[in-house]
Structure 1
Amino acid sequence: MNEPKAVPISVQINSPTAPARRRLLTQMIKRVGSNKRSMIGLWIVTLFILIAILAPWISPYNPLEQNMDKLLQSPSLNHPFGTDEYGRDILSRIFYGARISLMVGIVGVIISVFFGVAFGTIAGYFGGKTESLIMRITDIFMAFPGFLLALAIVSVLGPGMMNLMIAIGIFSIPSFTWISRSAVLSIKSKEYIEASRSMGSKHSRIIFKHIIPNSIAPIIVLSTLRIATAILSASGLSFLGMGAQPPSPEWGTMLSTGREFLRTAPHISIVPGVAIMLVVLGFNMLGDGLRDALDPKMKL
């Protein structure tokens, strides 16, 4: 009798499959939906995003149009938030200012995510002297307070929206570098990473197919929280005259010009101040909810 031939059995250990990731995404959405705090934050953020998108259609006036017959008017039916020192409608300027603030925050965080994740992934994956060099440079940047670092960068580059976004992006890179490196260090020792290496996969394939997709959760949470920090920092820099320049309807610039009229027309400063507070609060509440939803220790 002929003995049956042995059939080779190959076992491949892969990262979480697409159905598993969909299940995790569904659970995350349910957790976010069941968290009242995160839902309030989501509604606030969504409202300001819609305002920014629809600003040209919902603004009752041109935000740059001056009317010397309506200087420093208090809130009324024609001007719900009043007018400023040049007779410009504050409501319209708030609507258009949402575009500027959200753009600065989102673009600045995109810059931070791109470079921070790149540096953190390289440091965590390759280790050795490369890791030491990247992390020591990161430590130097983290030794400076974020706002002061952004102020120094804008002082060197000069005031302006583009330089403001670059400064906001640079001062947030160290945070993303650290969080990305920590996530990579916990993932690169997993079985599916070792299996991928043993099968001869290139470093680039391992990084882009396994490392980054499975370390994205903390990056999402930090990004949401950092948008709030970026908007607050951008408003502070504009308040100091280092960001958006008049007559741009940026909220920090509106605060700066309105401080001269706090006694006679306090609404000029109160309205943009409340707008900054609400959008920052919304992103912070949403970030806290996402952190709870993406925490594997949390149960539905």
Structure 2
Amino acid sequence: MKLLRQLCRDRLAATCLFFISAVLIAGLLAPFITPNDPNEVLMELRFAGSSSAYWLGNDHLGRCILSRILYGIRPSVLWVLIALFISVGIGTIIGFVAGYFKGKTDAVLMRICDVMLSFPGYVMTLAVIGILGVGLENILIAFVLMKWAWFARIIRTSVMQYADADYVKFSKTLGIRNINIMIKHIVPAALPDIAVISSSSFGSMILQISGFSFLGLGVQAPTAEWGMMLNEARAVMFSKPELMLAPGIATILVVSAVNFLSDALQIALDPKLMTSRQKQKQSAAAAAKLIGKEVA
């Protein structure tokens, strides 16, 4: 609740949080709020402009662009969010075990992470696609395989600094079980770091799945997805450039909102950054006041 209040004090962060929440809700309720069937082909409405029935017009097959944008939230945002949760979950477990127990356990787990991280992310994704084939499910599997080791290494570094704290050593001396120590003491301390790295990766994963779909390696037609919609509009990008606006703007807005919210979250969770930002605001206010006096 305290974190939420801090984010709400920042107008930009509050706006981004509201926008992202609205997008997620719209994706969940897409079957109930879309005005038309996203896959209904109406060739007589091919490239039709906006109207009362089709607010954003129709694409090259006469399908409702607005309905496809709303349905595209699911693969472009919701399924990416699920893949992110799975990756963070696996990375958190391995990072906690490696950072808390250290020694041989840490060495073995980190060598496995080093092997996974030795492959470039896009090469790993293309390898998974080449083995399993194109499709949304295979892209999400590639995301999990590509991201968990990175999360594990970062979370392990965060856990190691808390595992050496005096209150953790005191709990060990009292004979409290390791699992209880991690849940009660280390998880709350490391949770802000996990939240920051998760939010910062969310935007890049949205861009990646849209990029693979744009290249024809991700979501396949007729499934609605923002990158796929951009790919379909590419053939008429000079004669009908407006067809690229809706999916392009949707992607830009969501990714920008995620990035702004990630920055605000990092500032809210780091007292040093919060103090620095407050000083900057005070300096800016003082400078504006001084300029106003000089002008007067």
Consecutive unaligned residues of structure 1, counting only runs of 5 or more, are 1-24
What letter is aligned with 1:112? Answer: S
Kept in 1: contact 2:24–2:78 (CA 8 A): no
In the superposition, relative to structure 1, how do residues 36 and 174 fare at CA in structure 2: closer, same or farther (>3 Å)?
farther
Could you tell me how far 1:36 is from its partner in structure 2? 2.7
Could you tell me how far 1:168 is from its partner in structure 2? 1.6
Greater RCO between the two (CA within 8 Å, min separation 6)? 1
Residue 260 (structure 2) pairs with residue 285 (structure 1): yes
Residue in structure 2 matched with residue 249 of structure 1 by the alignment: 224
Could you tell me how far 1:40 is from its partner in structure 2? 2.6
Residue 116 (structure 2) pairs with residue 141 (structure 1): yes
Residue in structure 2 matched with residue 127 of structure 1 by the alignment: 102
Identity of aligned residues (%): 36
Instruction: Give the distance between the partners of 1:232 and 1:140, measured in 2 at CA.
Output: 25
Kept in 1: contact 2:38–2:63 (CA 8 A): yes
What letter is aligned with 1:98? Answer: I
Could you tell me how far 1:287 is from its partner in structure 2? 0.9
| More displaced stretch, 159-168 vs 137-146 | 137-146
Match of 1:217 among 181, 192, 201: 192
What letter is aligned with 2:177? Answer: K
What letter is aligned with 2:117? Answer: M
Residue 120 (structure 2) pairs with residue 117 (structure 1): no
Kept in 2: contact 1:84–1:90 (CA 8 A): yes
The C-alpha deviation readout for 1:163-193, integer Å capped at 9, x for no partner, is 2221122222133112211111111111221
Q: Note the aligned Cα RMSD (angstroms).
A: 1.8
Residue 137 (structure 2) pairs with residue 162 (structure 1): yes
Match of 2:66 among 86, 91, 101: 91
Instruction: Give the distance between the partners of 1:45 and 1:199, measured in 2 at CA.
Output: 45
Residue 205 (structure 2) pairs with residue 227 (structure 1): no
Consecutive unaligned residues of structure 2, counting only runs of 5 or more, are 279-296
| More displaced stretch, 282-291 vs 149-158 | 149-158
Moved beyond 6 Å, runs of 4+ = none
> TM-score normalized by structure 1?
0.85
The C-alpha deviation readout for 1:9-50, integer Å capped at 9, x for no partner, is xxxxxxxxxxxxxxxx42x22321222331232122122113
Q: Which structure carries more helix by proportion? A: 2
Kept in 2: contact 1:168–1:234 (CA 8 A): no
Instruction: Give the distance between the partners of 2:193 and 2:99, measured in 1 at CA.
Output: 15
Match of 1:60 among 35, 38, 41: 35
Instruction: Give the distance between the partners of 2:248 and 2:125, measured in 1 at CA.
Output: 21
Could you tell me how far 1:254 is from its partner in structure 2? 1.0
What letter is aligned with 1:245? Answer: Q
Instruction: Give the distance between the partners of 1:35 and 1:179, measured in 2 at CA.
Output: 27
* SS across alignment from 2:22: helix
Rg larger for: 1
Residue in structure 1 matched with residue 284 of structure 2 by the alignment: none
Match of 1:80 among 50, 55, 67: 55
Could you tell me how far 1:221 is from its partner in structure 2? 1.4
Kept in 1: contact 2:27–2:78 (CA 8 A): no
What letter is aligned with 2:212? Answer: L
Kept in 2: contact 1:104–1:234 (CA 8 A): no
What letter is aligned with 1:31? Answer: Q
